């Protein structure tokens, strides 16, 4: 019985190709926009998360503005923090600005950053040539420098800088390495930086405090506990002054970014869902027209022995057919749009099974909901009136 | 001969706004197996209402209608649909064929509602179309057939379920004289094979093909 009803519904759709297509169009557009929007937003979220992940999720950054009494973090604070659980390494940054000179060429006010060996260990792809800062450099406060890509290009055009002597803040430094050109914009870019051992920086840059500390975690899941522990160390050090420092957890940032993006995708999907509802009303409208047109047919079928349930089933199946077809076409179309858009923006493209199931499920539901009323109307037609209408 | 249909003190009235309009008054009719009965009456006489009640498309306001031993008043909508499918084969004035289905598919239609398998349906429909002389036209759509051929398809559709009663409403109304006569000859043949036929018409010339004629005038049935 179900099979026969499906066959009859199918025949009716095929017999009214243009009208069936136009009716489906509403669903097609609705589903296509849902799929396209969700896929694009998901792709964008993934791309952004990946970029942030590259900066390091296993990292907590402490920035110290200090108080009048204690103007930043000292080496003692660093030692205390390093005793906190779940820490695999600490990388301090001391920054200052200074003029640098090589071979009578001068660059004014270059960003000079004091770092330690951990900085280089966390990212093995930092160095382009030469060697990293090692523990010996730190202990001996060696006058060694590693140069950013722009500095190399500007001062050492055509010359290998490794082994050369560079004057920083009036003192001679040995260039021991160069950095790869970094693609990051703003944050994370070290193209215009000169890196020296932080111990050397504390002595010779005239900076007494550590500006920021990157704390690397063993287990990112425990990040919140580690943040609490670090605060427990720092609060007494800053005499419980609020705003003396900030602790910034990269993981938190990604989380909030992701929740923001999922909010956005929900919002967009919600807007697109409105068009699905409009599509559903289109189906209902078409079904009502179709029933009016086929009043005689319905009456005849009833006279020949069709029960009201049979008639209702046939029309509901027709509505479900239309909306599922619309859903599948919309799925393909939406994926195509998302694919084109993704390759334009340069983000990843993948349609999840969940998204597909959502689209097809939603359109089937639209078919049932908006097909029910017309189908019920058809099933209740009085065969006498229906047959007389011809 | 077995009694297959019995109408006892049937009344039917409709409400036209406030006013009650009685269209059938105390109708009594008994039909036996293998009869060919014609209900003859002018338009507005209540003969369509008679047909609707006999065909279980409508129910009487009062009285008892028994068809093949079933009191129609006791049946719900689903049971009525089954009775129509099993007991009644309708033939309408305007043929009422589905325009997008072939002659064969049109004839198969009632068997779908009986719940018969597709191969068996096709077998039965083919056989009955051959019986009405349309073996060459089975795949044709209704609009590729003449009026007479269309009515033959409709008759085949009515007969395919082997109903107790073939119920025809002005079966020649849309046909010319000659074709109409051929259809009536087919009816006579079908009746000779033992099928009960009830025909509703306003045309005394057509009614004459029936073995028994009852007249209906202003809702009163007279024999």
Tokens 């899941």 sit on residue: A221
Angle between helices A17-55 and A2-15 (to 10 degrees): 100
* Residue among B57, B100, B115 minimizing CB distance to A1: B115
CA distance A119 to A216: 10
Show the tokens assigned to A180.
């790869």
Distance in Å, alpha carbon of B142 to nearest chain A alpha carbon: 14
Give the count of alpha carbons within 13 A of A174, CB side only: 11
Total structural domains within chain B: 1
Which pLDDT belongs to residue A144? 93
CB atoms B94 and A390 under 8 Å: yes
User: DSSP state, A210?
Assistant: B
What integer pLDDT is reported at residue A390 of this predicted model?
A: 45
Q: How far is B31 from chain A (nearest CA, A)?
A: 21
Inter-chain residue contact B81 with A306, CB threshold 8 Å: yes
- B16 in a structural domain: no
Cβ within 8 Å, pair A384-B57: yes
| A300 contact residues in B (CB cutoff 8 A) | 96, 98
- Has residue B130 been placed in a domain? yes
Residue A359 has a pLDDT of: 80
CA distance A14 to chain B (A): 11
Does a structural domain hold residue B152? yes
Residues of A in contact with B157 (CB under 8 A): 304
- Give the closest residue to A24 by CA, choosing from A290, A336, A282, A334: A282
In a domain, B173, yes or no: yes
Question: Which residues does chain B have within 8 Å of residue A296's beta carbon, measured at their own beta carbons?
Answer: 96
Percent of chain A with pLDDT over 90: 12
The confidence score (pLDDT) of residue A17 equals: 85
Both structure tokens of B90? 């309708």
How far B185 CA sits from the closest chain A CA (Å)? 24
How much is the pTM? Answer: 0.67
Give the pLDDT of residue A183: 65
DSSP three-state, residue A156:
coil
Q: Nearest residue of B to residue A294 by CA position? A: B98
Long-range CB pairs of A140-144, under 8 A, 24+ apart, other chains included: A141/A197, A141/A199, A141/A200, A141/A203, A142/A174, A142/A197, A142/A200, A143/A171, A143/A172, A143/A173, A143/A174, A143/A196, A143/A200, A143/A204, A144/A173, A144/A174, A144/A175, A144/A176, A144/A196, A144/A197, A144/A200
Question: Cβ-count burial of B217 within 10 angstroms (0-12 exposed, 13-18 middle, 19+ buried)?
Answer: middle
Assigned token pair, B147: 């009026």
Distance, CA of A339 to CA of A42 (rounded, Å)? 12
- Which residues in chain B are closer than 8 Å to A303, comparing Cβ atoms? 55, 57, 84, 90
Domain membership of residue B4 (yes or no) is no
* Sheet containing strand B62-67, strands side by side: B19-32, B3-16, B62-67, B70-71
- Between chain A and chain B, the number of residue pairs with CB atoms below 8 A apart is 55
Q: Which member of A15, A300, A304 has the closest CB to residue B85?
A: A304
Is A304 in Cβ contact with B110 (below 8 Å)? yes
Give pLDDT, residue A81. Answer: 87
Structure confidence by residue, pLDDT tens digits, A164-201: 999 998 889 999 999 988 765 545 678 889 999 998 98
Q: Identify the burial level of A379 via C-beta atoms within 10 angstroms of its C-beta, where 0-12 means exposed, 13-18 middle and 19 or more buried.
A: buried
Q: What is the CATH number of the domain that holds B85?
A: 3.40.50.300
Which portions of chain A are predicted below pLDDT 50?
186, 390
Describe chain A by its helix, strand, coil percentages, rounded to 5: 60, 20, 25
Burial of A349 (0-12, 13-18, 19+ CB in 10 A): middle
| Beta carbons of B96 and A390 less than 8 Å apart | yes
Cα of B59 to nearest chain A Cα, Å: 11
Residue A390 contacts B, CB cutoff 8 Å: yes
- The per-residue pLDDT string of chain B (223 residues; one tens digit each, 9 = 90 and over) reads 688 999 999 999 988 888 888 899 999 999 999 999 999 999 888 888 899 999 998 889 999 999 998 899 899 989 999 999 999 999 988 888 988 889 999 999 999 999 889 899 999 999 999 999 898 999 999 999 999 999 999 999 999 999 999 999 999 888 899 999 999 999 999 999 999 999 999 999 999 999 999 999 999 998 8
Out of B96, B100, B110, closest to residue A305 by CB: B110
Question: Which residues of chain B have a Cβ shorter than 8 Å from any chain A Cβ?
Answer: 52, 55, 57-58, 77-78, 81-82, 84-86, 90, 92, 94, 96, 98, 100, 109-110, 112-115, 157, 161
Select from B60, B89, B112, B155 the residue whose CB has the most chain A CBs within 10 Å, as the one to mutate to test that interface.
B112
Q: Is A164 left (phi over 0), alpha (psi -120 to 50) or beta?
A: beta
Nearest to A13 by CA among A2, A24, A3, A4: A24
- The ipTM assigned to this model is 0.91
| Tokens 């722009």 -> residue | A150
Which among B170, B184, B155 has a CA at the least distance from the CA of B89? B155
Q: At A336, give phi and psi (nearest 5°).
A: -60, -45
What CA–CA distance (Å, rounded) separates B55 from B166?
A: 10
In chain A, DSSP assigns E strands to: 59-64, 87-102, 105-115, 127-130, 144-147, 165-168, 171-179, 193-197, 212-217, 245-249
**Domain residue limits at B178:** 34-62+76-222
Measured between CA atoms, the residue of chain A closest to residue B79 is A307
- Could you tell me if residue B218 is inside a domain? yes
Asked if residue B204 is part of any domain, the answer here is yes
Nearest in space to B79 (alpha carbons), one of B97, B67, B91, B89: B67
A14 touches B at CB < 8 Å: no
Sequence-distant (≥ 6) Cβ neighbours of residue A38 within 8 angstroms: A265, A268, A269, A355
């Amino acid at each position: 019985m179900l099979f026969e009803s499906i066959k009859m519904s199918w025949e009716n759709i095929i017999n009214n190709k243009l009208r069936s297509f136009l009716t489906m169009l509403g669903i097609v557009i609705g589903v296509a926009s849902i799929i396209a929007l969700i896929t694009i937003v998901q792709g964008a979220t993934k791309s952004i998360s990946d970029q942030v992940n590259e900066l390091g999720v296993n990292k907590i950054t402490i920035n110290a503005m200090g108080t009048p009494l204690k103007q930043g973090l000292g080496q003692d604070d660093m030692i205390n923090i390093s005793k906190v659980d779940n820490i695999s390494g600490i990388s301090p940054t001391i920054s200052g600005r200074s003029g640098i000179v090589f071979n009578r060429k001068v660059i004014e006010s270059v960003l000079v950053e004091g770092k330690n060996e951990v900085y280089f260990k966390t990212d093995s792809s930092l160095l382009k040539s030469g060697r990293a800062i090692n523990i010996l450099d730190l202990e001996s406060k060696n006058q060694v420098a590693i140069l950013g890509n722009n500095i190399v290009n500007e001062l050492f055009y055509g010359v290998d800088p490794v082994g050369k002597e560079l004057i920083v803040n009036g003192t001679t430094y040995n260039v021991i390495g160069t950095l790869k050109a970094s693609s990051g914009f703003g944050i994370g870019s070290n193209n215009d930086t000169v890196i020296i051992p932080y111990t050397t920086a504390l002595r010779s840059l005239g900076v007494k405090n550590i500006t920021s500390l990157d704390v690397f975690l063993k287990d990112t899941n425990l990040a919140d506990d580690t943040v609490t522990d670090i605060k427990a160390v720092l609060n007494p050090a800053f005499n419980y002054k609020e705003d003396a420092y900030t602790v910034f957890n990269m993981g938190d940032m990604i989380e909030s970014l992701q929740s923001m993006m999922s909010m956005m995708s929900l919002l967009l999907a919600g807007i697109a869902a409105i068009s699905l509802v409009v599509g559903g009303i289109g189906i209902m409208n078409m079904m009502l027209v179709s029933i009016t047109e086929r009043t005689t047919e319905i009456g005849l079928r009833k006279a020949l022995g069709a029960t009201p349930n049979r008639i209702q089933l046939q029309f509901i199946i027709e509505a479900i057919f239309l909306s599922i077809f619309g859903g599948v076409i919309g799925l393909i179309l939406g994926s195509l749009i998302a694919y084109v858009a993704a390759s334009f923006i340069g983000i990843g493209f993948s349609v999840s099974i969940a998204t597909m199931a959502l689209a097809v499920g939603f359109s089937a539901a639209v078919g049932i909901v908006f097909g029910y009323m017309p189908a019920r109307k058809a099933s209740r037609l009085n065969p006498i009136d229906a047959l007389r209408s011809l | 001969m077995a009694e297959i249909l019995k109408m006892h003190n049937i009344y039917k009235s409709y409400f036209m706004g406030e006013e009650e309009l009685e269209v059938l008054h105390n109708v009594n009719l008994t039909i036996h197996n293998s009869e060919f009965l014609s209900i003859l009456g002018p338009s507005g006489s209540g003969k369509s209402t008679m047909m609707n009640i006999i065909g279980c498309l409508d129910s009487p306001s009062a009285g008892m209608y028994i068809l093949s031993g079933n009191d129609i008043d006791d049946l719900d909508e689903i049971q009525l649909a089954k009775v129509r499918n099993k007991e009644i084969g309708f033939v309408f004035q305007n043929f009422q064929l589905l325009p997008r289905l072939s002659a064969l598919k049109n004839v198969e239609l009632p068997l779908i509602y009986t719940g018969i398998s597709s191969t068996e349906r096709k077998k039965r429909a083919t056989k009955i179309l051959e019986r009405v002389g349309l073996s060459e036209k089975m795949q044709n759509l209704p609009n590729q057939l003449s009026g007479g051929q269309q009515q033959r398809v409709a008759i085949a559709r009515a007969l395919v379920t082997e109903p107790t009663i073939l119920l025809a409403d002005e079966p020649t109304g849309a046909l010319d004289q000659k074709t109409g006569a051929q259809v009536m000859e087919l009816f006579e043949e079908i009746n000779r094979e033992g099928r009960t036929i009830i025909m509703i018409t306003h045309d005394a010339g057509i009614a004459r093909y029936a073995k028994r004629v009852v007249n209906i005038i202003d809702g009163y049935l007279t024999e």
